[in-house]
Amino acid sequence: MWRDDERGGALVSDEPTIVTSYADPADVTDGALAALRRFLHRLGKDTNQGEVGLVVDDAYLPITQFDEG
């Protein structure tokens, strides 16, 4: 459930999709992180999401503004 501030704070119920992935720390390079960032921004924009979240080491990182292109 999430709060839609654009509709006066109405509560919206939905079924989120959760993808779990693991990576060897040696594979977490600047290039890999840049590719992940591009993917998450494109995913959020192309699917018209209000937020895409990423969890790294138990820290939730929300993305609410998506890059163009």
Residue 69: band (very low, low, confident or very high) from pLDDT cuts 50, 70, 90: low
The one-character DSSP state at 69 is -
Which residue segment(s) compose the domain that 38 sits in?
20-69
Q: What pLDDT score was predicted for residue 1?
A: 81
Residue 43 has pLDDT above 70, yes or no: yes
* Cα 50 to chain centroid, rounded: 9
Q: Flag whether 3 is in a domain.
A: no
The total domain count for the chain is: 1
Q: Flag whether 46 is in a domain.
A: yes
Mean pLDDT of the chain: 92
Of residues 31 and 17, which shows the higher confidence score?
31
Residue 53 has pLDDT above 90, yes or no: yes
Q: Is 22 left (phi over 0), alpha (psi -120 to 50) or beta?
A: beta
Confirm if 62 and 50 have CB atoms less than 8 A apart: no
Q: Flag whether 41 is in a domain.
A: yes
Q: Flag whether 4 is in a domain.
A: no
